[in-house]
Amino acid sequence: MEQRVRAGVLEQGSVDLLCCSGLGERLQREGMRHEGIELRFDREAHRVPLTGLTGRAITVYGQQEVVKDLIAARTAAGGRILFEVDDVRLDGLDSDSPVIRFRRDGRDEELHCDFVAGCDGFHGVSRGSVPEGVLTTYERTYPFAWLGILAAAPPAVDELIYANHERGFALHSLRSPEISRLYLQVDPDEDIADWPDERIWSELRARLETVPGWSLNEGPILEKSITPMRSFVVEPMQWERLYLAGDAVHIVPPTGAKGMNLALADVALLGDAFAAWYAEGRTELLENYSRTALRRVWRAQHFSWWMTSMLHRLDTQDPYEAKLQSSTLRYVATSRAYATSLAENYVGLPEV
Ligand code: PHB
């Protein structure tokens, strides 16, 4: 869990939440505050001044660093985290005392609960524990995937570059002053074995080295993987005593950098709702959880779909759609109003 390379961008609200929860110490020391991003298309670079347009900024800090901080804080607070459990099943979700059953070290064990927070990811068991017919699924798959690499190369950028290119989308991100994180749009059925390091660098150069005087820094590739892209939501986010959060109920394509932020926003709502119930016996925050969370979820769904559609090469596109895509990019680059819309979604809307 602590090694797996995943997302890297925290909204201002996510940083504030982590800091308020006592998780900000390393984040504030090692996280890199960025006040803009770059859009690269038609052989030109356009900066979107996030902070200039919204007053807020993003922080680049790897998701697995957040996971490390969460595990350390929970352990230090005397909490128990059970790793390596198998055969997890949820029972009695429609009773006052649901039970989580699982196997650990070869033995059957049970956890008796007041509530179950289903934060177990897209492939977890929670969503599937809701009876048939209760949940409605909304989804979209895209005809491409992202090949991501982590490289021991000083990033050739101060801010993230999102590049639209006729060979396909590319993204230049980073993890530290010595480590670059880069992505390439590839076909969804692409085999990573067909992508030796030199092919990856040559494709990155072709898509990113499009403005005069700019070149990529290369170095040993430390990690590479291919991730499919999808948009996915199930509604409602709650059934009886089960409260679903994060990837267990919604997935966004990574282009808008929203996945980790949405998961944090869900658990922030849920945390407040549980606190109100345990401290004062109040139920309205629990009752409103799904409705409130889904407003942010759908804003992020739209934004992520929009960024994805604007920046990728769409194989199925007709010439009309290609013209619309390039007009959209130019509009973002030239209109303060449209750029502000991108910026406020990217840094995260405080209220949705
Ligand atoms: C990342 O650094 O991993 C990253 C950054 C921005 C994105 C997606 C991923 O939109």
pLDDT reported for residue 316: 67
pLDDT tens track for 84-99: 999 999 999 999 999 9
What share of the chain has pLDDT > 90, as a percent? 95
The rounded distance, in Å, linking the Cα atoms of 44 and 52 is 21
Alpha helices, H only, the chain = 12-20, 25-30, 50-54, 63-76, 197-208, 259-280, 284-311, 319-334, 336-347
Q: Whose CA is nearest to atom 7 of ligand 1?
A: 257
Best of 4, 5, 6, 9 to mutate for ligand 1, by most ligand atoms within 8 A of CB? 9
State the distance from the centre of ligand 1 to the C-alpha of 219, rounded, in angstroms: 19
Residue 248 and residue 109 share a domain: yes
Task: Give mean pLDDT, residues 303-325.
Answer: 90
State the distance from the centre of ligand 1 to the C-alpha of 159, rounded, in angstroms: 11
Residue 99 and residue 21 share a domain: no
> For residue 223, what are its two tokens?
């990690």
Whether 313 is in a domain gets the answer no
Task: Give mean pLDDT, residues 153-182.
Answer: 96
Q: What is the DSSP letter of 116?
A: E
At residue 352 the predicted structure's pLDDT band, cuts being 50, 70 and 90, is confident
Residue 250 and residue 124 share a domain: yes
Task: Give mean pLDDT, residues 277-296.
Answer: 98
pLDDT reported for residue 2: 85
Largest Cα span, the chain: 65
Residue 249 and residue 124 share a domain: yes
Which residues, at least 6 apart from 219, have a Cβ–Cβ distance to it below 8 Å? 151, 152, 153, 154, 180
Name the domain boundary from 231, 253, 268: 231
The rounded distance, in Å, linking the Cα atoms of 145 and 320 is 23
Residue 100 and residue 219 share a domain: no
Q: Is 218 helix (H, G, I), strand (E, B) or coil?
A: coil
Residue 329 and residue 219 share a domain: no
Residue 225 and residue 156 share a domain: yes
In whole numbers, what is the pLDDT of the chain averaged over residues? 96
User: How far lies 275's CA from each of 121, 208, 278, 283, in Å?
Assistant: 23, 48, 5, 10
Residue 219 and residue 153 share a domain: yes
Task: Give mean pLDDT, residues 288-300.
Answer: 98
User: How far lies 135's CA from each of 128, 138, 232, 244, in Å?
Assistant: 10, 10, 12, 11
State the distance from the centre of ligand 1 to the C-alpha of 9, rounded, in angstroms: 6
Starting at the earlier edge strand, list the strands of the sheet with 107-112: 86-91, 99-104, 107-112
Residue 145 and residue 205 share a domain: yes
Q: What is the CATH number of the domain that holds 170?
A: 3.30.9.10
- pTM score of the predicted model: 0.96
Task: Give mean pLDDT, residues 273-290.
Answer: 98
Q: Is 261 in the pocket of ligand 1 (CB under 6 A)?
A: no
Residue 123 and residue 247 share a domain: yes
What is the chain's Cα-based Rg?
A: 21
The rounded distance, in Å, linking the Cα atoms of 234 and 288 is 16
Whether 200 is in a domain gets the answer yes
For residue 4, give its domain range. 1-81+318-352
Name the domain boundary from 197, 231, 265: 231
Best of 171, 179, 184, 258 to mutate for ligand 1, by most ligand atoms within 8 A of CB? 171
Name the domain boundary from 202, 231, 260: 231
Residue 241 and residue 130 share a domain: yes
